[in-house]
Amino acid sequence: MSQSCRFPDSNYSEAGHRLEAMPMIVISAQRLFTPQEEIENPRVLVDAGFITAIHSRETAEIPANARVIDFEGSILVPGFVDIHMHGGAGLDVMRASPDELPHLSRFLIRHGVTAYFPTTVTAPLDQTCQALGRLADAVESSSTGNNIPQARPVGIHLEGPFLSHKRRGVHPAEYLVAPTLATFDRLWQAARGNVRMLTIAPELPGAMEVIAEAARRKVLVSIGHSDAMLDAAHAAVKAGARHATHTFNAMRPLDHREPGILGEVLTNAFTADIIADGIHVAPEVVKLFLLAKGFEHSVLITDATAATGMPDGIYQLGPIQVEVKDGRCTKDGKLAGSVLTMDRAVRNVTKFAGWSLRNAVQAATLNSARAAGLQQHGILAAGAEANIVVLSPEGEVRRTIAHGH
């Protein structure tokens, strides 16, 4: 395979900010997953932070001024895209200051994540709006580029406050609110239009109007934290919903006569995500989900909290205190997010379902990026940002290249 493409001026990012001058580099390895295709002995040409060509080693010519980096025995894959995560490395995204978020981004990069949606939890609306303002600052400043490899927050995921009381999980009941266009617009304005994903329970009065308006604004509307019957879930999809949040968790259970929301999620050809840690969903049910959704519509998320990468103890999840012990993150005995990392989720899928590493990688890259409308992420192709993870054959992260750095 040979691809060649260049932005009109490769010294500029898509946001219009000038990138720091970077040397042209050629990256080689044993294999490359685009992820839809596999290329043996690839050479990837990177210029000014973007991929300009991908060739096989036999046909590639190395430019005279290029720096060559050879990851012998490794696999090149796109940077992972996590569209549902609340924190890590001791930091909660709703509480972290702008100066602290780069620490979280550097933690994520070590686990192969190059783009993510910082995700809110239900809190008082004033607190949520304040957090959205800080997160919008982080999203907008992340596009200016720097020479430090780190994951970029590329949009905000609103998980709440439009959730079912019955299926709220650990989201505080006192802060849940009915979905209205006015409340949604208040949150949208607080985030300065940086909301890219919304989790909503479709059975709530007013939900259909909010779903339709959010979809009109190019938000990925996801049904979840829901006690919906099948008809309500189907109506949500007709209104504009096209994704499902942490399938099986915080949802009406599947019944063979009244399948409810899960009947829609498992049979409709839209994307859905799952927490593949073996705790939130049994490995056998993860396999069932992957069989139902297939290689094209399965999305891996972490639902990671501030406790991810940290020792057992007490941590914050928005306004909630959670306890982590033996890999389980709980509040009063209920699961409250996870300590999962995306690279482990990928390896778990190969173990739980027998998927190839390439297919598991697709569920953590291309599928999530396409669902969220992130054109520059989740794929290795000419013209895309140079977000590349170097994996061992077993799926361990050896190195991450973020935005060409």
> Which H/E stretch holds residue 198?
strand 195-200
170 within 8 A of 317, measured Cβ to Cβ: yes
In the annotation, is 82 catalytic?
no
Residue 244's alpha-carbon distances to 25, 250, 265, 378, in angstroms, are 39, 11, 7, 19
Residue-wise burial string across 173-189, b where 16 or more C-beta atoms lie within 10 A, e elsewhere? eebbeebeeebbeebbe
Q: Torsions phi, psi of 273, nearest 5?
A: -115, 165
The pair of three-digit structure tokens given for residue 310, joined into one six-digit string: 């940290």
Catalytic hit among 9, 303, 312, 332: 303
Closest of 380, 384, 385, 405 to residue 29, by C-alpha: 380
Angular region, 313: left φ>0, alpha ψ -120 to 50, beta rest: left
Dist. CA 229–CA 54, nearest whole Å: 47
Report residue 265: phi and psi, to 5°: -65, -45
Would you say 217 and 209 are in contact if contact means Cβ atoms under 8 Å apart?
A: no
CB 216 within 8 A of CB 240: yes
d(CA 331, CA 222): 24
Query: With contact defined as beta carbons under 8 Å apart, do 323 and 314 qualify?
Result: yes
What percent of the chain is helix, strand and coil (3-state, nearest 5)? 25, 30, 45
Angle at 259 between CA 257 and CA 262, to 5 degrees: 165
Backbone angles phi, psi at 370, to 5 degrees: -65, -40
- CA Rg value for the chain: 21
Catalytically active residues, by annotation: 303
